Every structure is written in structure tokens, then in C-alpha cells.
């Protein structure tokens, strides 16, 4: 399996198994629990973070930084004369993906 695909599946498994389960009766006031039970009982309920508290993709796991470092290494190698096809093989990416990385203007 390609390294990037393996990393992707490992990240999915980590996220699934790291979700914290809490019993609502242990964390919610009784009135709120009763109100929720009128709508849903005996099932898992996901409560998303507030809008201002959301992290960007990959920030918590470190994947965002890994991808940035990989892309920086690809850009530097390309500037040093490494052919696109060789970079694609080395990083298990398509040639089109390598082109996007090296030809896209870097922001931030």
C-alpha cells in the first residue's frame, strides 16, 4: 500500500478510536438532559465544537505540518533539478499532484 494511503487510513483509525464518550447524565444539568431525551434517547449524539473553536484540517494530528514539510521538500528538490516524474515516484504521488505542489504559489 502506498505510504500516503497508509497514513490516511491510520489517521482515520486514530480519529475513530480517539473520540471520547461521555455519559450525558454525568456532564449535563438534569433539565437539559430531559430536554434532549424528548428528542433522542439511547443513541450516540455527536456535539460539534463551536464555530470559533474549530481547528483547521490536520492541526491536531500534525498531518498539516507533515504535508507542508513534504511539499517544501518537493519544491526544494524540484528547484535543485530533480525531475517531476522522479519526485512523483519518490513521494508516491501522481505527476499532476507534484505539478500542483511545485507550480502553485505558496501562501502563509
Q: What is the pLDDT of residues 12-32, one digit of tens each?
A: 777 666 667 788 999 999 999
Taking 50 as the threshold, does the pLDDT of residue 73 lie above it? yes
Residue 107 confidence (pLDDT): 63
Q: Domain 56-108 belongs to what topology?
A: Arc Repressor Mutant, subunit A (1.10.10)
**HSE (side-chain half, CA atoms, 13 Å) at 19:** 11
**Model pTM?**
0.51
Provide mean pLDDT across the span 33-59.
Answer: 83
Query: Is pLDDT larger for residue 9 or for residue 99?
Result: 99
Residue among 44, 46, 59 at smallest CA distance from 11: 59
Q: CATH 1.10.10: which residues of the chain? A: 56-108
Residues 6 or more apart whose CB falls under 8 angstroms from that of 41 comprise none
Amino acid at each position: 500500500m502506498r505510504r500516503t494511503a497508509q497514513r490516511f487510513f491510520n489517521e482515520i483509525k486514530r480519529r475513530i478510536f480517539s473520540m471520547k464518550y461521555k455519559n450525558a447524565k454525568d456532564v449535563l444539568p438534569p433539565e437539559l438532559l430531559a430536554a434532549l431525551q424528548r428528542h433522542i434517547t439511547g443513541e450516540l449524539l455527536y456535539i460539534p465544537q463551536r464555530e470559533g473553536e474549530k481547528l483547521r484540517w490536520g492541526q491536531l494530528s500534525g498531518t498539516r505540518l507533515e504535508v507542508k514539510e513534504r511539499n517544501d521538500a518537493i519544491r526544494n528538490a524540484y528547484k535543485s533539478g530533480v525531475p517531476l516524474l522522479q519526485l512523483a515516484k519518490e513521494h508516491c504521488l501522481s505527476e499532476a499532484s507534484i505539478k500542483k505542489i511545485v507550480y502553485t504559489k505558496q501562501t502563509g
